């Protein structure tokens, strides 16, 4: 990427000063930015206010004394051209137009207005949007929702949709995904997806790129940018509007051309981008790519404390393109020493529930079982399914919390060995139902979740999610890294 272009993006992602035009007591951008390190370099603009958030509020961007690198425009649609012109007059480097109501409405006069905005910006200023959330960059403090992640991380996100970006950031934070940059680019009348893709491809802070798009104005340019990015780091893509009706919904949402599903799939395949099917799959796979080593084969061991589900778990794996091979004789012999007979299966899936509860007759710990598995030559990945806290509480009563902490430490220890010493991909599922109201149960599950996250394991609330993410790691390894 050329130095000039890089500098342009420096102003976007690491502005020295930021202004919000159309700030108010409750606009999300002011609130978000007041909570980050940019607070002291934030300027608020709105002729209706003298003061906001304890800061002076300026009638116009032109009234601010110093230079402004980056501006968020959140004014009524019809005011955007005027405000944008003032930003250019002020010498602002980059603007993000949050305001919607342009071509996406399908109305001719709004398309004309959008074209006008485009012309004003052309060659004079970098413009993100309109109709989008703009940029979040934990390193610089740029944010578009309050309390968003402030910890930096390896994940870069480029989303055509603002809501999508917000949800990805919010739910990603709950899942321990950490972000380098999150970009919502909306109608893309100036900077478009390929621009951001080129930037993230060469951004040393970004190790994984997740894309959400509904269409493009320049397929060839997009393909080139994806190909280049995917050559350098994993790129995942979710295409919205793959069905005829979705396609229609997409064009009313961001006003872009959508193309047939087959064209898009082929585009992603040629660019060596991993296409996923929905929001959850994108999120779950991004998490896995951001912290787990790639599996060296399809062989997956499932460790579960629920025999009833081991059958369905195996079905899930195989449907996802993985294998659940039998353990070697040596592995089985080792495991059989640890776990007694009744109701347990020393096989893959390992239905070794007594060892979860230190039941009479078991020897060794779950860590020993995990270590043993990790030596099996047929096994490249391990999915550890932790659930049944209810049963733990039943067995241990008051002592549950202490026992659980011990058990979790044991599991983490085994998983660390499998990953760090044996190079296995380890995925964790801590099953939790969204609607549960047993707060004690919830707190135990969250305790386990955080212990695994503390050691940078990817943790999923459902087994289906963990297996799908694992299968995508394998797909990436097989299709994009060993072509």
In terms of CB distance, is 15 or 240 closer to a second copy?
Answer: 240
Query: 162: which 2 tokens?
Result: 């603002």
Nearest residue (CB) to a second copy, 112 versus 421: 112
**Nearest-approach distance from CB 392 to a second copy, in angstroms:** 12
Q: In the complex with a second copy, which residue's Cβ is closer, 468 or 477?
A: 468
Is 193 within 8 Å of 225 (Cβ atoms)? yes
> Distance between CA 159 and CA 182 in Å, rounded?
8
Cβ closer to a second copy: 252 or 265? 252
109: contact with a second copy by CB under 8 A: no
Q: Which of residues 81-100 bind a second copy (CB under 8 A)?
A: 99-100
Contact pick of 79, 311, 333, 399 for a second copy (by CB under 8 A): 311
Q: Report in angstroms how near the CB of residue 229 gets to a second copy at its nearest.
A: 22
Ramachandran sector of residue 75 (left: φ over 0; alpha: ψ -120 to 50; beta: rest)? beta
- The binding track of 254-293 with respect to a second copy, each residue x by CB under 8 A or -, is ------------------------xxx-------------
Closest separation in Å from C-beta 17 to a second copy: 25
Q: Which is nearer to a second copy, 68 or 352 (CB)?
A: 352
Pick the closer one to a second copy by CB: 91 or 265: 265
Give the nearer residue to a second copy in terms of CB position, either 406 or 433. 433
Among 24, 30, 36, 77, binds a second copy (CB under 8 A): 77
Using CB under 8 A, which residues numbered 217 to 256 contact a second copy? 238, 240-246, 248-250, 252-253
For a second copy, which is the closer residue by CB, 325 or 364? 325
Distance CA 193, CA 239 (A): 13
Q: Does 401 bind a second copy (CB under 8 A)?
A: no
- Are 172 and 286 contacting, i.e. CB atoms less than 8 angstroms apart? yes
Among 5, 175, 202, 205, binds a second copy (CB under 8 A): 175
Residues 46-75 that bind a second copy (CB under 8 A): none
From candidates 316, 367, 389, 408, binder to a second copy by CB under 8 A: 316
Q: What angle do CA 367, 371, 375 make, to 5 degrees?
A: 170
The residue among 68 and 288 lying less far from a second copy, judged by its C-beta, is 288
* Segment interacting with a second copy, rule: CB under 8 A, options 85-93, 165-173, 218-226, 227-235: 165-173
**Residue 20 interacts with a second copy (CB under 8 A)?**
no
Q: How far is the CB of 314 from a second copy (least distance, A)?
A: 4
The label of the residue with tokens 């060993």 reads 482
- The count of residues interacting with a second copy (CB under 8 A) is 81
Piece of 6-14, 161-169, 228-236, 373-381 that binds a second copy (CB under 8 A)? 161-169
Residue 167 contacts a second copy per CB under 8 A? yes
116-145 binders of a second copy (CB under 8 A) = 131
| Residue among 201 and 404 whose Cβ is closer to a second copy | 404
Cβ nearer to a second copy, comparing 6 with 174: 174
Question: Is 295 among the residues that bind a second copy (CB under 8 A)?
Answer: no
Choose, by CB under 8 A, the member of 446, 456, 479, 481 that binds a second copy. Answer: 446
Q: How many CA atoms lie within 13 A of 11 on its CB side?
A: 21
Q: How many CB atoms lie within 10 A of CB 266?
A: 12
Per CB under 8 A, which of residues 317..376 are in contact with a second copy? Answer: 317-319, 323-326, 341-343, 345, 347-349, 351
Map the chain to HEC letters: CCHHHHHHHHHHHCCCCEEEECCCCCCHHHHHHHCCHHHHHEEEECCCCCEECCEEEECCHHHCCCCCCEEEECCCHHHHHHHHHHHHHHCCCEEEECCCCCHHHCCHHHHHHHHHHHHHHCCCCEEECCCCCEEEECCCCECCCCCCCCCEEEEEEEECCHHHHHHHHHHHHHCCCCEEEEEECCCCCCCCHHHHHHHHHHCCCCCEEEEEECCCCCHHHHHHHHHHHHHHCCEEEEECCCCHHHHHHHHHHHCCCCCCHHHHHHHHHHHCCEEECCHHHHHHHHHHHHHCCCCCCCEEEEEECCHHHHHHHHHHHHHCCCECCCCCHHHHHHHHHHCCCCCCECCCCEECHHHHCCCCCCCCCHHHHHHHHHCCCCCCEEEEEECCHHHHHHHHHHHHHHHHHHHHHHHHHHHHHHHHHCCCEEEEEECCCCCCCCHHHHHHHHHHHHHHHHCCCCEECCHHHHHHHHHHHHHHHHHHHCC
Cβ closer to a second copy: 244 or 421?
Answer: 244
Kindly state whether residue 464 participates in binding a second copy, applying the rule CB under 8 A.
Answer: yes
Sign of CA dihedral 128, 278, 146, 452: negative
- Cβ 118 to a second copy, closest distance in Å? 18
Q: Whose Cβ is closer to a second copy: residue 170's or residue 296's? A: 170
Site for a second copy contains 390 (CB under 8 A): yes
What does the alpha-carbon distance between residue 52 and residue 46 come to, in Å, rounded to a whole number?
9
Please report whether residue 307 would count as binding a second copy according to CB under 8 A: yes
Q: Binding marks (x or -) toward a second copy, 196..215, rule CB under 8 A?
A: ------------------x-
């Amino acid at each position: 990427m050329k130095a000039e272009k890089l500098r342009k993006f420096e102003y976007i992602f690491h502005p020295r000063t930021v202004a919000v035009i159309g700030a108010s007591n409750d606009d999300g951008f002011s609130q978000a930015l007041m909570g980050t390190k940019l607070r002291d370099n934030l300027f608020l603009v709105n002729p209706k206010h003298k003061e906001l958030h304890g800061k002076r509020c300026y009638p116009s961007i032109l009234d601010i004394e110093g230079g402004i690198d980056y501006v968020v425009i959140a004014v009524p649609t019809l005011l955007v051209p005027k405000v944008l012109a003032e930003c250019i007059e002020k010498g602002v480097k980059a603007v993000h137009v949050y305001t919607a109501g342009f071509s996406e409405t399908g109305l001719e006069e709004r398309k004309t207005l959008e074209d006008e905005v485009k012309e004003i910006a052309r060659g004079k200023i970098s413009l993100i949007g309109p109709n989008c959330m703009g940029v979040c960059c934990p390193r610089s403090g740029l944010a578009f929702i309050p309390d968003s992640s402030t910890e930096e991380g390896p994940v870069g996100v480029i989303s055509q949709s603002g809501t999508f970006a917000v949800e990805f950031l919010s739910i990603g934070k709950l899942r321990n995904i950490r972000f380098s940059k999150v970009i919502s680019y909306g109608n893309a009348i100036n900077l478009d997806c390929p621009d951001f893709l080129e930037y993230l491809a060469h951004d040393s802070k970004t190790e994984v790129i997740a894309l959400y798009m509904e269409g493009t104005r320049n397929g060839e340019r997009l393909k080139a940018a994806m190909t280049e990015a995917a050559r350098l780091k994993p790129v995942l893509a979710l295409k919205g509007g793959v069905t005829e009706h979705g396609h229609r919904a997409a064009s009313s949402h961001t006003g872009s051309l959508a193309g047939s599903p087959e064209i898009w799939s082929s585009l992603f395949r040629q660019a060596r981008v991993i296409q996923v099917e929905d929001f959850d799959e994108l999120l779950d796979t991004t998490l896995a790519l951001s912290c787990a080593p790639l599996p060296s084969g399809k062989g997956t061991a499932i460790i579960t404390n629920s025999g009833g589900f081991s059958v369905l778990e195996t079905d899930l794996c195989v449907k996802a393109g993985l294998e659940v091979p039998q353990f070697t004789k040596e592995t089985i012999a080792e495991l059989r020493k640890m776990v007694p007979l009744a109701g347990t299966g020393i096989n893959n899936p390992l239905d070794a529930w007594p060892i979860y509860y230190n039941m009479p007759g078991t020897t060794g710990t779950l860590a020993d079982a995990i270590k043993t598995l990790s030596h099996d030559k047929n096994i490249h990945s391990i999915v550890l399914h932790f659930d049944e806290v209810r049963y733990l509480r039943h067995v241990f009563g008051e002592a549950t919390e202490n026992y659980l902490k011990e058990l979790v430490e044991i599991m983490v220890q085994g998983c660390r060995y499998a990953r760090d010493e044996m190079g296995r991909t380890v995925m964790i599922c801590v099953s939790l139902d969204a609607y549960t109201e047993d707060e004690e149960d919830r707190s135990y599950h969250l305790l386990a979740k955080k212990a695994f996250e503390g050691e940078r394991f990817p943790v999923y609330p459902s087994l289906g999610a963990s297996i799908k993410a694992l299968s995508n790691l394998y797909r990436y390894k097989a299709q994009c890294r060993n072509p």
